[in-house]
């Protein structure tokens, strides 16, 4: 497994007890209850070698990392038509910004900001009979893990505090880019963000973006190679909100963060690595996670550039 294990262990030990200046995402009340000293890493290579350290087997709320999964299913179902409803450009604004939607006439800049993910959820609701159950089943088949589930507590906590997301959904609806009932769309969106996984599970579920030969539990390809290439491209340019350029510059991999403190990074044809540390920097990305991945790609020379 190259020297990944040795390098991951060294960086983990170096960073474990540093002064973490980040802050936990306490605007979602349930996330404020998480122990902010958690720190876990797990890597899975395309030939299924793996290594985990720290809190890599503890469940956490993956939050916006789930936007890759909703996008993947919507892309499967809609094909290229999807890009008429949501764009593929970096936003350069915070993940919950309302400002751009006005000038862009209700078409979100990309599927990884909240507005874009809400539109993707609306697309899925138009296709799925039981959206929450069907999406969860898609994730279970993809991960070959029948125990995958939502956190009911986190979903309800997001519902009770998600005023900005409610505003975004209403605003997009006013431009005609939300087709279904707003309450149904938001309920589905909050549940998708409340998916709970471990670092190990996250690093395994996204192997389809690293491994050209990946098939799900039913033996089917998840996306065409062309589609996987496109999702990786959007991850590289848009996966970290208004810190995406910084992540590409410092880490050099397609990836996605979530305000639960998780980050997944993908090296096509090589591996998928997940880091979890709940304290976030000012842009909403894991403080320790960003530091770890920068050092990891530097020491392993595994940036895509």
Residue 91 known to be catalytic = no
Measured from the Cβ of residue 292, the count of other Cβ atoms closer than 10 Å reads: 24
Rounded alpha-carbon distances, angstroms, from residue 254 to 75, 188, 225, 250, 257:
18, 26, 15, 12, 11
CA dist 186 and 206 (Å) reads 25
Residue 103 known to be catalytic = no
Q: Locate tokens 């349930």: which residue?
A: 30
Task: Kindly name the residue from 4, 75, 241, 287 that is annotated as catalytic.
Answer: 241
Q: Locate tokens 């350029």: which residue?
A: 245
Residue 87 CA, chain-centre distance (Å), reads: 17
Residue 75 known to be catalytic = no
CA dist 132 and 66 (Å) reads 13
Task: Kindly name the residue from 185, 251, 259, 275 that is annotated as catalytic.
Answer: 259
Task: Kindly name the residue from 4, 12, 67, 191 that is annotated as catalytic.
Answer: 67
CA dist 242 and 96 (Å) reads 11
Task: Kindly name the residue from 4, 12, 75, 189 that is annotated as catalytic.
Answer: 189
Task: Kindly name the residue from 56, 61, 64, 302 that is annotated as catalytic.
Answer: 64
Three-class SS of residue 153?
Answer: helix
DSSP type of residue 219: S
Three-class SS of residue 12?
Answer: helix
Residues identified as active-site: 64, 67, 189, 241, 259
């Amino acid at each position: 497994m190259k020297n990944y294990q040795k390098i991951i262990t060294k960086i983990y030990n170096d960073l474990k007890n540093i002064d973490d200046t980040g802050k936990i995402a306490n605007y979602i009340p349930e996330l404020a209850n998480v122990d902010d000293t958690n720190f876990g890493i797990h890597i899975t290579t395309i030939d299924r070698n793996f290594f985990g350290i720290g809190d890599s087997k503890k469940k956490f709320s993956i939050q916006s990392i789930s936007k890759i999964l909703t996008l993947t299913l919507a892309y499967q179902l809609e094909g290229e038509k999807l890009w008429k409803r949501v764009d593929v450009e970096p936003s350069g604004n915070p993940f919950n910004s309302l400002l751009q939607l006005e000038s862009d006439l209700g078409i979100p800049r990309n599927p990884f900001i909240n507005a874009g993910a809400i539109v993707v959820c609306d697309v899925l609701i138009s296709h799925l009979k039981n959206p929450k159950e069907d999406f969860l089943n898609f994730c279970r088949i993809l991960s070959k893990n029948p125990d995958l589930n939502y956190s009911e507590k986190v979903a309800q906590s997001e519902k009770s505090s998600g005023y900005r997301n409610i505003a975004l959904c209403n605003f997009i609806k006013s431009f005609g880019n939300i087709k279904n009932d707003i309450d149904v769309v938001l309920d589905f969106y909050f549940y998708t963000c409340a998916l709970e996984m471990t670092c190990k599970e996250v690093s395994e579920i996204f192997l389809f973006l690293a491994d050209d030969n990946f098939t799900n539990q039913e033996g089917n390809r998840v996306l065409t190679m062309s589609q996987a290439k496109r999702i990786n491209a959007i991850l590289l340019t848009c996966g970290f909100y208004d810190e995406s350029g910084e992540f590409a510059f410092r880490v050099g991999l397609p990836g996605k963060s979530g305000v639960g403190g998780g980050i997944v990074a993908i090296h096509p044809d090589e591996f998928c690595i997940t880091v979890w540390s709940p304290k976030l920097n000012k842009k909403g990305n894991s403080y320790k996670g960003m530091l770890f991945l920068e050092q990891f790609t530097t020491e392993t020379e595994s940036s895509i550039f």
